[in-house]
Amino acid sequence: MTVAEEKPPVDVDTVDLDFIQMIKKTGGPNIQSCYQCGTCSGSCPAGARTNYLVRGIIRKALLGLKKEVISAPELWYCTTCYMCTDRCPQDVKPTDVIKAIRNVAVEEGYMLKPHQDVAKKVLEAGHAVPLDKDTWSALRQKSGLEPLPPNGSSNPKVAEEIRKMAKKSGFDKLIGYSDTPPPAEKKEK
């Protein structure tokens, strides 16, 4: 729930157009078609149980309230079910808009540690959910399969290729991944 507080009015003639352009480029090309009907939020299973409000986020983005939008924790409650996208009468593609806003948020350093860890696992093992215990291999054998599947789990070259591309694009730095941790830094825990 929000509580009313005194605020200066938003000047719609001087909104942060760069932010809107960023969103349009990364997956929300139709964001400016939104006429605030609220079908998205009415269809949203995340909004039914959290303070995540698609409609509000879109309006805030159009008002250029970048900081407020990208720093809001509820931005990460969208399960990307696309129910809003399938019902939006303006083809705003709200799910893609949210993902685009998340891209901007991450670029500015707003990311959750558990998500960062998932991304790091892909760079380390080639898989977000890796075959990291013997029990998982045993499970495979119980199902009548070979202990290692023919993917990144049996071929270290897979993760190596991903790391090379991540280094080239700067994604490794974005998520704080390093294959050689600085020796001065003490291990956590």
Q: Exactly one of 18, 161, 176, 178 binds another protein (CB under 8 A); which one?
A: 161
Return the number of the residue (8 or 71) whose C-beta is nearest another protein. Answer: 71
CA–CA gap between residue 17 and residue 61 (Å, rounded) = 9
104-117 b/e with 16+ CB inside 10 Å = b?
A: bbbeeebbeeeeee
42 binds another protein (CB under 8 A): no
The token duo for 109 is 């350093």
21-40 positions binding another protein, by CB under 8 A: 26-27
CB 87 within 8 A of CB 43: yes
CA–CA gap between residue 189 and residue 184 (Å, rounded) = 16
90: left (phi over 0), alpha (psi -120 to 50) or beta: alpha
Choose the stretch contacting another protein; rule: CB under 8 A; options: 3-11, 16-24, 77-85, 181-189. Answer: 77-85
CB 70 within 8 A of CB 107: no
66 binds another protein (CB under 8 A): no
Q: Exactly one of 18, 86, 108, 179 binds another protein (CB under 8 A); which one?
A: 86
15-18 long-range contacts (CB < 8 A, ≥24 apart) are 15/62, 15/63, 15/64, 16/64, 16/65, 16/66, 17/64
Return the number of the residue (32 or 137) whose C-beta is nearest another protein. Answer: 137
76 binds another protein (CB under 8 A): yes
142 binds another protein (CB under 8 A): yes
CB 127 within 8 A of CB 153: yes
Return the number of the residue (10 or 25) whose C-beta is nearest another protein. Answer: 25
Q: Exactly one of 13, 17, 157, 189 binds another protein (CB under 8 A); which one?
A: 157
List of residues contacting another protein (CB under 8 A): 26-27, 45-46, 49-50, 76-83, 85-86, 91, 93, 95, 99-100, 102-103, 106-107, 111-112, 114-115, 118-119, 122, 126-131, 136, 139-140, 142-145, 149-153, 155, 157-159, 161-162, 164-166, 168-169, 171, 174-175
